[in-house]
A and B are shown apart, each in its own frame.
Chain A
Amino acid sequence: MDDSVLFSVRLSLQVASVSTALIMLTGIPIAYFIARRKFKGRELLDVFCTMPLVLPPTVTGYYLIVLFGRNGLIGRFIYEWTGWTIMFTWYAAVLASYIVALPLMIKTTRAAIESVDKNLINASYTLGHSDFDTALKVILPLAKRGIIAGTVLSFARAMGEFGATLMLAGNLPGRTDTMPIAIYSLAGSGEGTKAQFMVLMMTVISGGFLYFANKYAKRII
């Protein structure tokens, strides 16, 4: 296999894996918080977290540049302190994938948590278990199908992320060209065979992952 193709495959898997791990770490607590806590602005928070799902990826990418660019609201301070900017690095691809795929995790996990029978949660409380204990031992295990579905969808979305990644990480061969970006370049430069190969590969990887995850999700409950 061509080195550049291999690089793109490896980078895409790496970016999708890291962003999915971050999505699990943060998305599950955010979804739990929105589902279980009644507070003012709950739906606003949900809308805010879900926006990247409906916004064009270029708009999301633009916001990320405004925030994390070298002169961005947050990026400026990072650059002043460390002399480093996330722009045009593979971390930028992770950030873009994270922001774009996070809503899928929050939506599916929130729905799964809200569908857990309230009597089971009350039973846990009357048996002496705290909120935290109840979340870990009752709510999250019973919502795990939704959490797995959210993880799979997030991974697939992160693998396929293109627009925001292009704006934030650019198209630097051998540095930030994930599979979707490499396909875009190859198709534009007339290297149809390589592009076709990567398109097929992308289809097989994403489809295969979804298939096994679906099968697993069915088996666990």
Chain B
Amino acid sequence: MGLHVRLQKRVNGFTLDIEWQISNELAVLFGFSGAGKSMTLQLIAGLIKPDKGQVSLDDTVYFDSSTGINLPPQERPLGYVFQDLALFPHMTVLQNILYGASNLSKNEKLDRAREMIHAFKLTGLEDRYPYEISGGQKQRVAFARALIRQPKVLLLDEPFSALDRPLRLEMRRSLREVRDNFSIPILLVTHDFEEAVAISDRMIVYELGRIAQIGSPERIKGSPVNIYVSQLIACVDSDSVVS
């Protein structure tokens, strides 16, 4: 049960070959840039087609190369928050959030949008355009838009990377609230070890398109499985000391 992912994809000399499973928890995909973390999210969402493998959530199969099943992204009930947030610049905050509720009736849409606006502290900003609000507010709009359709999995592609430290801490709090309120698998891509330790239930460490280690942040920090993982942690640790 939960989200099960087994994927192979070859692109321009890079090969992604991974398999893991998570339940209703917050899992972090961790590793250096170019390890295949963001690509994994795109493959799960159906934005890129895998060469081989399977993606399934509980009993529903989204992709299976052996049976030829490949649901389009529109039919996969996922919430996806992009690295650059991908808010529609020609739509207001309210319109952006409503756009996420394509599966609901008109009245339901408005009711749900009001709930999301309240939950993500966006009251009063409904008629503003994305360029008229702050970075933190944009993050919250992106979360509200991804969650209004009540997804069964939430995919977050480094959504906090452009924020300064106080905002990152605030967003981590919001994410913990999301984890507590929505009992769904949440996947967060990050290369910030401190962030991974602070919020994740489980870490999946990527090494050049493969899985190096899976476990709790404490376990990975305490007993890294190979020199690559210990280097990765040491590197990130020294990085955060410097910054």
Contact = CB atoms under 8 A, between A and B. Distances in A.
Pairs A-B, 8 closest by C-beta atoms: A123-B86, A126-B80, A128-B102, A125-B73, A119-B86, A127-B100, A141-B90, A119-B82
Interface residues of B, number: 24
B238 interface: no
A125 B48 CA distance: 12
Contacts of B79: 126
A3 interface: no
Interface string B67-97: 0000011101011101010101110000000
SS of A interface (majority): helix
Given A117-B84, A126-B45, A126-B80, 7 more contacts: A123-B86, A125-B46, A125-B72, A125-B73, A133-B102, A138-B88, A142-B90
A126 B128 CA distance: 23
Interface of B: 42, 45-47, 72-74, 76, 78-80, 82, 84, 86, 88-90, 99-100, 102-103, 145-146, 149
Contacts of A126: 45, 47, 73, 76, 78-80
B47 A127 contact: no
A117 B130 CA distance: 15
Contacts of A117: 84, 86
A196 interface: no
A130 to B, nearest CB: 6
Contacts of A123: 80, 82, 86, 88
**Interface-centre pick from A128, A129, A141 (highest chain B CB count, 10 A):** A128
A120 interface: yes
B149 A127 contact: yes
Given A119-B84, A122-B47, A122-B82, A127 B90 contact: no
